[in-house]
Structure 1
Amino acid sequence: MTTSILLIRHGETAWNAVRRLQGHIDIPLNPEGRRQADALARALAAEPLHAIIASDLQRALQTAQAVAGPDRTVQQDVQLRERCYGVFEGMLYADIERTYPAEFAAWQARDIDAVPPAGERVAESFRQFFHRCTDGIAAWAVRHPGQTIAIVAHGGVLECAYRAATGMTLESPRDFQVKNASINRFTFANGKLALQSWGETAHLEQLVLDDIV
């Protein structure tokens, strides 16, 4: 049976706004992110969601809790966390490039087996991350055959799902955007993800209009 998946990136954080790498550091939503999460909740109010699942990092969890409201439970899954970047975490992109030029170059060149230096946590390669999060998505889909589920995760997780669903190689440059609080629709059947729609953000644009008025 086919599972329908709404895959959602968390709302904005203060670190998103200044291009500071988060990884596994547990940063909450900023005020804009909370507004985005509320707009997302309104947009999904009529969706027949049988389960709401989130990364256990609070930026994803807070977004999912807005969608769930007071009457539904959010299930948490560490497999849906963002990629772990080791010592890069907490640094501005510009500072990573200056401090770790060779490692930054390998990352930007999409060396999918390169592993950033360890910091407080041991980093993972893009290949390791890809298998970790796509396996996590698949496991939830298998648990809910014929149903519709919402998974709230991170930009990197959504990128991996997009690549898996479209057959895009891991080495190829990312030529698509992954926007905060966007809705991205997939199906899962016979062990495979398929992309139905990408980057729904009309609910956020309406929020901006409401704020102006």
Structure 2
Amino acid sequence: MNNTTILLIRHGETAWNAVRRLQGHIDIPLNREGERQAAALARALAAEQLDAIVASDLQRAMQTAQAVAGLHAGLSLQTDARLRERAYGVFEGMLYQDIQQQYPDDFARWQARDVEAVMPAGGRVAESFHQFYDRAIGGLLAVAAGHAGQTVAVVAHGGVLECAYRAARGIQLDSPRDFQVKNASINRFTIVDGKLVLDSWGDVEHLALATMDDVI
């Protein structure tokens, strides 16, 4: 059986990304820059032979994926809630600096990468990083299993991309994140024997090309 290829993409920029306000499950749309990034991403993937397009059911991911789907006739957008960002409880909607001031102990555990730590509940119950990792990787592998031997574009969130990178590279969950996860980046994985294998990471060349086109 042929292996499944996943083009794992982080959604375009939102206004909250730009000011470091934590989103989690709060449903924030793309800002103008994010819309530009999504359009550039769609053009970059226009010639890619895709069999399916799957996104988190949060609108910032769906908007980004819909731009890609718009240049692939016959492919409808599928959504999967397992691909959502981590749930951060009361932290959601807060600036990082305010979290540090108002919840210093919880913030310290978060920044120290305590993978079992759960933030205080807010409008939603929070997840530990370990719980989130299991959900995100399980969701990605389920998408791959549902499209065996195919090429699938999956649009998700920075945390999901981090989980995929750690899974593919065998990086411990409690180790510092020493790699970038960029908005509208293309990250290629192959699923081999039920495991993620990283083929390429952090492709954002299309965004630079788009900027040049805007100037011209």
Q: Which TM-score applies when normalising by structure 1? A: 0.99
Q: 1:103-152 deviations in whole A, cap 9, x for unaligned?
A: 00000000000000000000000000000010000001111111100000
Which of 186, 206, 214 aligns to 1:203? It is 206
Taking the aligned partners of 1:57 and 1:184, their CA distance within structure 2 comes to 20
What's the counterpart of residue 154 of structure 2?
Answer: 151
Taking the aligned partners of 1:53 and 1:204, their CA distance within structure 2 comes to 21
In the alignment, is residue 24 of structure 1 matched against residue 25 of structure 2?
Answer: yes
What's the counterpart of residue 167 of structure 2?
Answer: 164
Which of 96, 112, 115 aligns to 1:112? It is 115
Taking the aligned partners of 1:157 and 1:96, their CA distance within structure 2 comes to 22
Structure 1 stretches of 4+ moved >6 Å: none
Which of 80, 83, 88 aligns to 1:85? It is 88
What's the counterpart of residue 137 of structure 2?
Answer: 134
Aligned pair count?
213
Q: Which TM-score applies when normalising by structure 2? A: 0.97
Taking the aligned partners of 1:47 and 1:144, their CA distance within structure 2 comes to 16
**Percent sequence identity over aligned pairs:** 70
TM-superposed CA distance for 1:212, in Å, is 2.1
Say what the alpha-carbon RMSD is for the aligned residues.
0.8
In the alignment, is residue 181 of structure 1 matched against residue 189 of structure 2?
Answer: no
Q: Which amino acid aligns with 1:32?
A: E
Taking the aligned partners of 1:21 and 1:143, their CA distance within structure 2 comes to 31
In the alignment, is residue 38 of structure 1 matched against residue 74 of structure 2?
Answer: no
Aligned residue for 2:70, secondary structure, equals helix
What's the counterpart of residue 8 of structure 1?
Answer: 9
Gaps in structure 2 of 5+ consecutive residues: none
Taking the aligned partners of 1:89 and 1:46, their CA distance within structure 2 comes to 37
Aligned residue for 1:36, secondary structure, equals helix
Q: 1:29-51 deviations in whole A, cap 9, x for unaligned?
A: 00000000000000000111000
Q: Which amino acid aligns with 1:146?
A: G
Gaps in structure 1 of 5+ consecutive residues: none
